[in-house]
Every structure is written in structure tokens, then in C-alpha cells.
């Protein structure tokens, strides 16, 4: 690998590390979170809007709970923090995988090429075999 390609890889790694650091800060932020989604439902056109919390369970079934109008702003903020956390963690994993791949490519590109010469085994003729 040429020095220019190695320099580009290093530059990409630095940029990815900066992004990883930003995502880590987002994930470590001291926000209160509610591990759920806020769902807005309107049963009739022009009718009132109802809000529900969609809370996942270990059985991969969502439980829906009604949210009172007084609590909508609270849950909207806290579910937004949860969504931001989950998205940051998912992207953090992807970015770190890319960093690992680039670092492995850098290591491979910096290694010297080694030639291994093996002696050829002598061909066995039908006359030199035992038992014939």
C-alpha cells in the first residue's frame, strides 16, 4: 500500500474517532429517559388526538399505555432522549467497526512482504514406490 493511501486511511480514522467521541458524549449525557415510543393517534378525522406510550417487553410484544394530556410534554422529552440514546449507540457501534477495519488495513499495509520459498517435494515415480 502506498504512503498516500496509508495517509488517507489515517485521516479517515481520525475523523471516525472524532465522530465516535461525539456519539459517546451523546450516549453518556445525564438525561432522564423513558425506554418507550410516544404514539399519537387520532381515531376520527378532525377528532381529538390521543397519546400512548409503546413500551417493548422481553417477549417482543409492545405494551401500550394511555398518556394524559398533562404528561404529554414530559413523555415527549424523555422518549426523545431515549430515541437519541439508542440511535447514538447504534451509530457508535457502526463507526467503531469502521475504525477497526481501517486500523487492520493500516496494519496490513505497513507490513513488509515476506516470501516463503518451499522446497518442492520430489515427484514419486511408479518405479520408486514401495510395494510395486
How much is the pLDDT for 60?
Answer: 84
Range of the domain at 48: 3-108
Q: How far is CA 11 from the centre of its chain?
A: 21
pLDDT of 28 > 60? The answer is yes
Number of domains in the chain: 1
Whether pTM exceeds 0.75: no
26 domain residue, yes or no:
yes
pLDDT of 113 > 90? The answer is no
34 domain residue, yes or no:
yes
DSSP strand pairing (62-67 vs 49-56): antiparallel
17 domain residue, yes or no:
yes
Mean pLDDT value of segment 86-107: 95
68 domain residue, yes or no:
yes
What 3 state SS string does the chain have? CCHHHHHHHHHHHHHHHHHHHHHHHHHCCCCCCCCCEEEEEECCCCCCEEEEEEEECCCCCEEEEEECHHHHHHHHHHHHHHHHHHHHHHHHHHHHHHHHHHHHHHHHHHCCCCCCCCCCCCCCCCCCCCCC
pLDDT digits (tens, 9 = 90+) for 37-57: 999 999 999 999 999 999 999
131 domain residue, yes or no:
no
Amino acid at each position: 500500500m502506498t504512503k498516500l493511501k496509508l495517509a488517507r486511511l489515517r485521516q479517515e480514522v481520525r475523523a471516525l474517532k472524532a465522530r465516535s467521541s461525539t456519539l459517546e458524549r451523546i450516549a453518556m449525557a445525564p438525561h432522564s429517559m423513558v425506554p418507550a415510543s410516544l404514539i399519537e393517534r387520532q381515531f376520527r378525522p378532525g377528532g381529538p388526538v390521543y397519546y400512548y406510550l409503546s413500551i417493548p417487553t422481553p417477549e417482543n410484544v409492545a405494551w401500550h399505555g394511555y398518556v394524559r394530556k398533562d404528561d404529554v410534554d414530559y413523555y415527549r422529552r424523555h422518549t426523545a432522549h431515549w430515541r437519541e440514546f439508542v440511535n447514538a449507540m447504534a451509530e457508535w457501534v457502526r463507526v467503531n467497526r469502521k475504525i477497526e477495519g481501517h486500523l487492520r488495513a493500516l496494519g496490513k499495509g505497513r507490513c513488509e512482504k515476506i516470501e516463503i520459498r518451499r522446497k518442492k517435494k520430489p515427484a514419486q515415480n511408479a518405479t520408486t514406490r514401495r510395494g510395486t
